[in-house]
Amino acid sequence: MRPPPDQSTFQPEIQWFPRPILGIESSCDETAAAVLNRDGAVLSNVVSSQVTVHEKFGGVVPELAARAHLGTIDLVVNEALTTAQVSKRTLGAVAVTQGPGLAGALLVGVNYAKALSYGLGIPIIGVNHLRGHIASAWLADPTFPLSCIVLVVSGGHTHLYHHDADGRCMLLGRTRDDAAGEAFDKGAQMLGLEYPGGPAVDRVARSGDPRAISFPRFHRSKDSLEFSFSGLKTALLYKLREMDSQLQSRQIADLAAGYQEAIVQVLVAKAFAALKQSNLSALAVVGGVSANSRLRTVLSERAAREGISLSLPPLAYCTDNAAMIASAGRQLLMRGEQPNSDLDIRPTERFMTTVEENGPQSVSKKIKEKANS
C-alpha cells in the first residue's frame, strides 16, 4: 500500500503510472463509475440511471439531475471499486467527463474526481464525453483498426468522424438540427410511448412493417455527410393528425417501424458514404442509438456484404457509461497528455474541427492535409 501523499510537494500533474484507472461520468442523467486494469480491460462498470426521476417530466430536468448525482456518486464509485476488487490506494489515475453536458451535473462528477485526486495524490484527466463514446469502440475489441470512420449517435449528437491511426479525430459531418436519439425520443413522445423513447420505439417497431408507412429521408445532396431529422419529426406529426386515435393505436407498430427505418437508413447511408469518401474499410458506430436493434442488423448485414470491419459496442457500452471515460482518459495519459488538477467543467465543449463544405474532394483533401501536418 502506498503512503498518503505529502501534500506540501503534491504535484498530481506529473505522477501517472500505468495502474488501474477510475472513470467517472455524470454529464446527463446517468451516474456512472468504472475501473479498468493497467492494460485497459474493464474490471467493473456501474451505472445508476435516473430514469425514474425524470420520466414523469418526459425529459431530463437539469436541477433534479444534479441533485440525484450528488446523492449517488459516492455509492456508485464505491460499488465500482468493490466489484473491481481494487482499493482506492492502488488507483493510478482518475478520469472524469468534463463536458459537454449539463453544468450542474458535470460539477458533481468533476468536483468528486478532483477531491479524490487530491486526497489520493493521483493524476486527474478531463475527458470530452464524445471522445469517451468514441473510445467505447475499442473496449470489447482492442484490435479493431484505429484508422476508421466513427459514427457517434446519441441523445445529443449525430457526428461522423474520421479517426486516424494516432487517435486524432476529424469531424466530417453532423446533424443540422435534432440528434438521432432526440428524433427517437420526440417521435416516441408523439406516439405516446414511454420515456426514454429510443428503446420504446425499438421494441414497438419489432412487430411493425417498416414499408407500410413511408417517411422522408433527408439527403442534402448525394455526397453530403450532413444529417437532419427535424423534417422527419414533422412528417410524423402530420401523419398522426390525419389519423383518429383508434387508427393511431392500430397502426402504432407500423408508424414506429417506418419512423425508425427512416432514421436507420439515413445513418447507414451516410456512414458508408463516409467510408467510401475516406477510402477506409473499418466503421465504428457508438452512443446510445447504436443499441438500436434494427440499426445493428442493417449495419451488420451491409458491413458483411461489403467486407467492412464493424465495431458495434456491447449494449452496456452504448449508452452513457464510465468505462468509456476511463478508457479515453487512459489513452490520453498514455499519449502523454498532461493531467490537470485544476480542471473545470466545459458544458458546451465541442469535439474537433468541422469540414463545412464536405464532399468527396474536401474530405480526402482535409485528411491528406492532416496527415502531412
Nearer Cβ to ligand ADP (48/154): 154
Nearer Cβ to ligand ADP (81/137): 137
Nearer Cβ to ligand ADP (12/132): 132
Sheet containing 30-36: give its strands across. 42-49, 30-36, 21-25, 93-99, 124-128
**Nearest approach, Cβ of residue 163 and ligand ADP (Å):** 18
**Nearest approach, Cβ of residue 154 and ligand ADP (Å):** 3
Partner that binds at residue 196, options ligand ADP, Mg ion, none, CB closer than 5 to 8 Å by kind: ligand ADP
Nearer Cβ to ligand ADP (25/226): 25
The interface mask with ligand ADP, positions 18-57, x = CB under 6 A, is ----------x-----------------------------
Cβ contact 333:135 at 8 Å:
no
Nearer Cβ to ligand ADP (64/364): 64
The one-character DSSP state at 90 is G
Is residue 155 involved in binding ligand ADP (CB under 6 A)? yes
Grid cell 501534500 is found at: 7
d(CA 117, CA 94): 7
d(CA 293, CA 94): 33
d(CA 358, CA 171): 10
Give the contacts of 241 (CB within 8 A, at least 6 positions apart).
Answer: none
DSSP, collapsed to helix, strand or coil, labels residue 254 as: helix
d(CA 311, CA 145): 9
End-to-end alpha carbon distance in the chain:
45
Give the contacts of 195 (CB within 8 A, at least 6 positions apart).
Answer: 51, 54, 55, 58, 59, 185, 188, 189
Is residue 320 involved in binding ligand ADP (CB under 6 A)? yes
d(CA 176, CA 20): 39
Nearer Cβ to ligand ADP (81/95): 95
Report the site for Mg ion in 149-178 (rule: CB under 5 A). Answer: 154
Is residue 44 involved in binding Mg ion (CB under 5 A)? no
Q: Which residue, 62, 4, 73, is CA-closest to 32?
A: 73
Nearer Cβ to ligand ADP (185/261): 185
* Count of residues in contact with Mg ion, rule CB under 5 A: 2
Is residue 291 involved in binding ligand ADP (CB under 6 A)? yes
Partner that binds at residue 92, options ligand ADP, Mg ion, none, CB closer than 5 to 8 Å by kind: none
List beta partners, residue 260.
none
Cβ contact 321:291 at 8 Å:
no
Report the site for ligand ADP in 163-192 (rule: CB under 6 A). Answer: 181, 184-185
Q: Which of 320, 331, 355, 367: binder of Mg ion (CB under 5 A)? A: 320
Nearer Cβ to Mg ion (261/320): 320
DSSP, collapsed to helix, strand or coil, labels residue 43 as: strand
* Count of residues in contact with ligand ADP, rule CB under 6 A: 19
Q: Which three cell numbers stand for residue 83?
A: 466489484
Cβ contact 330:17 at 8 Å:
no
**Dihedral sign (CA 56, 58, 63, 69):** positive
Q: Which of 198, 258, 313, 339: binder of ligand ADP (CB under 6 A)? A: 198
Q: Which of 40, 173, 199, 208: binder of ligand ADP (CB under 6 A)? A: 199
**Nearest approach, Cβ of residue 185 and ligand ADP (Å):** 5
Q: Which of 97, 292, 311, 327: binder of ligand ADP (CB under 6 A)? A: 292
d(CA 353, CA 366): 10
Is residue 287 involved in binding ligand ADP (CB under 6 A)? yes
Nearer Cβ to Mg ion (278/331): 331
Query: Rule CB under 6 A: which residues touch ligand ADP?
Result: 28, 154-156, 181, 184-185, 196-199, 202, 287-289, 291-292, 319-320
Query: Rule CB under 5 A: which residues touch Mg ion?
Result: 154, 320
